[in-house]
Chain A
Amino acid sequence: MFSRTSIQTKANIISISLSLAATFIITALLIILIGKNPIEVFGNMFSEVFLSGYGIGQTLFKTTPLIICGCGLAFCFHASIFNIGAEGQLNAGAFAMSLIALKLGAFPWYISIIICIVVAFGVSALFGLIPAIIKIKKDVSEVITTIMMNFIIMALINYFLVDFFAVKSTMHTEKIPEDMMLMKFSSITSFFQGSSLNISFIIALALAVISYIVIYKTKFGYEIRAVGFNPSASKYIGLSPDKIIIITFIIGAGITSLTGLNFIMGYKGFYEYGFSNNVGFTAIAVALLARNNPIGIIFSALLFGVLDSGGLAVNEIVPKEIVLVVQGVIILTILSINTIVDKKFNIAK
């Protein structure tokens, strides 16, 4: 006789392994179909990603925003908030981060960074607050509002960039002062030479651990999950679902802004239109794969990070776009296999 948690763990392990195996096979078939050798492709990917300090560094660099954004979404998803708007929310926050950073020359770097984080968090949170309020007050699903907000935010950023803030004939803002940039790993050890991996990665890991504790080990976390499971029961139990949904939405959206740290403060030094490269959507898959468990998110983000940096590694053999296909396949295999395995184990959703 297994306890509930151990059955769940076992089911999780089985479904994740099966999903990965299925994805692996589908990808191999796809590669064979276009007349290439899958072993060569996977081999190249492996050696590029895992066998050099640069490869490892780049992979972790690409993993960082996925962990951050995945954690933000985990909060939302636990409360049954279907936030499809992370892409817009994180861009709004990151854009604000780049602009405020340019104004903070006079402060010591650590204060500047804190201000940057607070401002970015606040701006992203604001764009979480809007759909949250519409959901509460007007009973309109956040799915549709967040999708619409994505387009609105991107159009607004485009407008402000083109008409006010962009460096002429580019789509990016001016570069922030060098001393405000976050420390790169390559400056500590030459192992990571050339890679863009920076302190944001550590911040992302810390964020995951904190998120885990908040969600599973605090009263607030219990409240979030209770509201996610059953809002009307939560109300009769004495919680305020509306309040919890608003707070969770704000936290979730706010966290996504921290992805800006990695790119702006840790890498380029400016906001660039389209920098996020659909992280806000990929992170949905990252969170799902980990069943919204922030510790699991570290690993699922890593998987997508490997794919992302591996794509470039195999570009000479197969187009790097194959990675996009693999991502899509992973999402769908995980969704279906999870469901089937859960059914086999009689785990009620």
Chain B
Amino acid sequence: MELFNSILTVAFLTQVFRLMTPYYLGASAANFSERGGVINIAIEGFMILSAFSFAMFNILTHNIPLAIFLALIINVVFALLYSVFTVKLKINQIVTGVGFNILIAGLTKFLMMIIFHSSSNTERFEGIPDNELIGKIPLVGAILSDYIVLFALILIFLSNFILFKTTFGLRLRSVGENPEAAESLGIKVRRYKVYGILISGFLAALGGIWLASEQKSFSDGMIAGRGYIALAAMIIGKWKPVNIFFASLIFAFFEALQISIQISGVPIPSQLIQMLPYLITILVLIGLIGKTKPPAADGVPY
């Protein structure tokens, strides 16, 4: 009962919206890549990379905007490298994604040892400050005052607009659905695939940066599969920005719930709640909650 009461609070809802942010950014990242026909299971790695580089530059320079900027740049560079593998060399996207995840996990661990002499976590640092003005708005202020959360919410409409109302979106989607047809109309297929992947790298980076900023440190394993849950949110959201948002919200709800349960001490095994997002995803995929269909040429090198 106590647990139930704790859920029905503004604080809990605020928590849900904040936790939604990395999922939604990761899922949108994956979506822009897949709309262009490139599966990106390296979202997890991208988020780890950006969280780490943000933490590293933040600690080294004490300049938050610079740290954000550099973290974004590094991620976009890796995204570019990912596009060399998957678009230029047409290497299997799943395998490339696994390779990137292994490389990035290793690289961050190695650099942590070199720079911070710890295999588990960095020292603490200042997170990104909230916008005080927005923070004063009652109720929603606590959510919207966080720049990245705010961006994530705007992104719902922004990505919907880009994908479905602009020339860029039409072309990106055409490349993911039927690259041959797109090329026959003069669309530069590979270029658009690369654009999709770069946007993917950028958005995933924001997700990672938010997590590091929120935790005010980087620790090994802190992304904890969120990149994969983001993929799940994208699939459950049927590759549509608004639906993806709701899917992310559901996953965020379970994460917030798990935290509340741990605090309240209600004897529900936390592992089983941790498991829920993955289980829900599988249930959705097997059609218990509705049919999903990826872009027709998703995962097919061109």
Contact = CB atoms under 8 A, between A and B. Distances in A.
Q: Do A and B come from one complex?
A: yes
A284 B95 contact: yes
A319 B113 contact: yes
A332 B278 contact: no
A18 interface: no
Interface stretch (A56-64, A154-162, A180-188, A236-244): A154-162
B: interface residue count bin: 35 or more
A264 to B, nearest CB: 22
Interface in B200-233: 225, 228, 231-232
Interface stretch (B17-25, B144-152, B282-290): B282-290
Contacts of A34: 114
B interface, over-half SS: helix
Interface in A114-134: 134
B137 interface: no
Interface stretch (B8-16, B97-105, B156-164, B242-250): B97-105
Nearest to B113: A319
A281 interface: yes
B271 interface: yes
Interface string B67-109: 0000000000000000011000111101110111111111101
B285 A163 contact: no
A335 B85 contact: yes
B33 interface: no
Given A140-B286, A148-B232, A151-B278, A324 B105 contact: yes
B261 to A, nearest CB: 14
Interface in A257-312: 278, 281-282, 284-285, 288
A143 interface: yes
Nearest to A159: B271
A2 B299 CA distance: 33
Contacts of A144: 231-232, 235, 281, 285
Given A144-B231, A155-B275, A328-B102, A339 B90 contact: yes
Contact of A324 (B106, B271, B278, B299): B106
A322 interface: yes
Contacts of B235: 144
Interface in A157-174: 158-159, 162-163
Contacts of B281: 144, 148
Contact of B282 (A137, A148, A332): A148
Contacts of B109: 321, 324
B269 A147 contact: no
A137 B287 CA distance: 10
B275 to A, nearest CB: 4
Contact of B99 (A134, A163, A285): A285
Contacts of B99: 285, 328, 331-332, 335
A317 interface: no
B279 A152 contact: yes
B110 interface: yes
A: interface residue count bin: 35 or more
Contacts of A326: 106
Contacts of A332: 85, 96, 99-100, 103
Residue of B95, B279, B286 ringed by the most chain A CB atoms within 10 A: B95
Contacts of B89: 335-336, 339-340
Nearest to A155: B275
A212 B133 CA distance: 67
Given A156-B271, A335-B91, A134 B114 contact: no
Given A143-B41, A155-B274, A325 B106 contact: yes
B287 to A, nearest CB: 6
B90 A147 contact: no
Contacts of B110: 319, 321-322, 324-325
A82 interface: yes
B274 to A, nearest CB: 5
B166 interface: no
A145 B269 contact: no
B103 A325 contact: yes
A251 B112 CA distance: 39
Interface string A205-220: 0000000000000000
B269 A159 contact: yes
B264 interface: no
Contacts of B85: 332, 335-336
B262 interface: no
A162 B105 CA distance: 27
B185 interface: no
Contacts of A22: none
Interface string A327-343: 11101100110011000
Interface of B: 39, 41, 84-85, 89-92, 94-96, 98-107, 109-110, 112-114, 119, 225, 228, 231-232, 235, 269, 271-272, 274-275, 278-279, 281-282, 285-287, 299
19 contacts: A82-B94, A84-B98, A140-B285, A143-B94, A144-B232, A144-B281, A145-B282, A148-B281, A151-B275, A151-B278, A158-B271, A159-B272, A285-B98, A319-B110, A328-B105, A328-B106, A331-B99, A335-B95, A336-B84
